[in-house]
Amino acid sequence: MHIIFRTSLRSSTAIGILLLSAPICAQSASSEPILQAAAEDNVDDIIVTANKREENLNKVGLTVTALTGAALAERRIVSLSDVAAAVPGLTFTPSTTNTPIFTLRGVGFNESSLGVYPAVSVYVDQAPLPFPVMASHAAFDLERIEVLKGPQGTLFGQNATGGAINYIAAKPTDYFTAGGDIGIGRFTQIDGNAFISGPIAEGLTARAAMTIHHMDDWQYSISRDDTNGHQHYYAGRLLLDWKPTDRMSFLLNVNGWRDKSQPQAMRLVGKNPPVNQVPFINQTFINAPFVTGNARRADWSHFVIDPFGGPPGAPTPTLVNHNPESDRKFYQISLRGDVEVTDDVTLTSITTYDDLRQKQRTDGDGAAFVSFDLPQNDGRLKSFNQELRLTNSPTSEFRWIVGANFEKSKTVDNQALRYWDNGNNNPDLLDINFSRDLLKQNITSYAAFANAEYSLTDQLTIKAGVRYTDTKIKAENCASTSENGNVDVLFNVLGGLLGSVPFTPVGPGDCFALNENLVPGFPFLRTLKENNVSWRIGMDYELSPLTLVYATVSRGYKAGSFPALAGSTFTAYAPVTQESVTAYEAGVKAGLFDRRVQLNAA
């Protein structure tokens, strides 16, 4: 059931409309081979900003999927998984630690840590959400969504080797309007959206919007009377649009969300323990059934007895809470300014600050045992980004953009891993059962870019773009254990047997990984310095006013990163270095039968 309400005020005339399950006409363009029939006699033009300037979608020589606000409302697209389901070639997967992973055209980065860059970047009005988890709840009160496929490194920077997703927020209006919708569904699901928009003062308009989602548990345990999977989040956005003069405008975007949804539980589908460890593994776990059948069936740890006493100073045994839980808080502040320097040149500044905090527990083994549980998976992300660019008139024969970017980010991953039902907990390994890892990264990035298009004739346009990026990541990683975790005892023994220099024995809370001398007691400190040049060349040819043929060759880069894990030696902490993707693409966009059918193929 879905209810929509909306009110509008123009020239002191108020009109209230109540719609029950009202159909909404929508038009969207897909970049995969597709024939699309128009909803009306003529297909309305869709304006996109794929080249960081407003252009007709069918005149842009790129593979772009654009979903209009009407299409988003009609299809009830409100989440990352909904966006992926609506865009051909785009897939969304929640990782083991509940971090979203986007893959576009088969290009992605399957990494569950908070502080790692993606292969598919996400933006809100071109303001970056540099780490995937930040994009969790941006899909509300939107004018449209643009999905750009293939490397987008020249204009959108590195970490877009698969492509880029740009959410375009609905903008403030110069008249009063308000509206909203409410939907209900299975598992007591309730979705609500509301907005209000209008003028505040001369040259100043505002828009406020919010969304809320609630759903009860949908998974059930195969071993006990227990459920999991409830969802609850809310998000809000405030936009202030100020035009002090005809040649100057500013847009302030303050948005944020809080998500207390439970991480999805795993399903145990296989076991392959080392033969020598089988006698030490919890035999109940060895005999635990695989999870089959109904997709709602799963299993996870709940309140469990810690045979090693839990946190330091606690009595043995201790009842500890391993039930999956999550609490994430995020906010973003972005300010865009556009100033017409001359009649032909515009200066644009986009300043963005992002902040995310996470407290979370996850179960990684798909069973009601402590074989791979993360009772603590906390983190913090802070990112500042500044872009400055100059753009000339879009009507010129020679159209260009030049600019620069600066990014400063700090990340913290703080994980604790319990595994006393695991084969690692055996006398040969001194009964190790608890590992902790604390990874801190300090990231600095500089970039300069240029993009140009030149119309050789009314039909033929050539294009080229380039970006130079320089990135430095300073990392500090320390793996430790707790009282009775016993990993410190094991690595003191290993350091004594393998180490080439004397060392001070480590204890709970000290860094235990073996360094280059194969002795414990030191944090892993490294700096990863990388630079790259992304580029794109291409051409567009208009066979007719309704048919565009295009071809491009492009190269993009994804920045490197350090893993968040409790490794045995410093070798395990070696960073993932930058990677590149080179793409060759040709396509056509054609309006057929007087624009009643749109054909896009690439």
Q: Minimum mean pLDDT among 116-120, 151-155, 276-280, 569-573: which range?
A: 276-280
Model pLDDT for residues 367-416, shown as the tens digit of each residue: 898 989 999 999 999 999 999 999 999 999 999 999 999 999 999 999 99
**Phi, psi angles (nearest 5°) of residue 568:** -80, -35
CA of 385: how far to CAs of 128, 203, 246, in Å? 8, 27, 27
Residue by residue, DSSP assigns 280-315 as GS-HHHHTPPPP-SSTTEE----EEEETT-SSTT--
The count of other CB atoms within 10 Å of the CB of residue 171 is 13
Q: Minimum mean pLDDT among 22-26, 334-338, 486-490: which range?
A: 22-26
Strands 597-601 and 579-592: antiparallel
Looking at the predicted structure, is the pLDDT value of residue 40 above 50?
A: no
Per-residue confidence band for 29, with pLDDT thresholds at 50, 70 and 90? very low
Tally the residues of the chain: 602
Per-residue confidence band for 28, with pLDDT thresholds at 50, 70 and 90? very low
* Predicted pLDDT at 579: 95
Q: Minimum mean pLDDT among 297-311, 479-493, 563-577: which range?
A: 297-311
Range 527-555 average pLDDT: 96
Query: Residue 239, SS3?
Result: strand
* Predicted pLDDT at 4: 43
Give the C-alpha separation, 587 to 543, whole Å. 13
Per-residue confidence band for 98, with pLDDT thresholds at 50, 70 and 90? confident
Per-residue confidence band for 276, with pLDDT thresholds at 50, 70 and 90? confident
Looking at the predicted structure, is the pLDDT value of residue 21 above 90?
A: no
* Predicted pLDDT at 315: 57
Q: Which amino acid is at 512?
A: F
Give the C-alpha separation, 24 to 58, whole Å. 23
Looking at the predicted structure, is the pLDDT value of residue 43 above 60?
A: no
Residue 356 token pair: 């995310």
> Is the Cβ–Cβ distance between 372 and 417 less than 8 Å?
yes
The percent of residues above 90 in pLDDT, for the chain, comes to 70
Looking at the predicted structure, is the pLDDT value of residue 441 above 90?
A: yes
* Predicted pLDDT at 36: 40
Q: Hey, what's the torsion of the CAs at 479, 482, 486, 489, to 10 degrees?
A: 70
Give the C-alpha separation, 360 to 99, whole Å. 11
The count of other CB atoms within 10 Å of the CB of residue 525 is 12
Give the C-alpha separation, 372 to 415, whole Å. 12
Looking at the predicted structure, is the pLDDT value of residue 5 above 50?
A: no
The count of other CB atoms within 10 Å of the CB of residue 303 is 9
The count of other CB atoms within 10 Å of the CB of residue 93 is 14
The percent of residues above 70 in pLDDT, for the chain, comes to 91
Looking at the predicted structure, is the pLDDT value of residue 49 above 80?
A: yes
* Predicted pLDDT at 90: 92
* Predicted pLDDT at 310: 53
Query: Residue 511, SS3?
Result: coil
Model pLDDT for residues 54-97, shown as the tens digit of each residue: 888 888 988 999 998 888 888 888 888 888 889 999 998 888 77
Residue 195 token pair: 């907005």
Q: Which amino acid is at 186?
A: R
Residue from 261, 198, 282 nearest 8 by CA: 198
Query: Residue 373, SS3?
Result: strand
Residue from 471, 406, 407, 478 nearest 439 by CA: 478
Give the C-alpha separation, 477 to 414, whole Å. 10
Mean pLDDT over all residues of the chain? 88
Residue 92 token pair: 């969304």
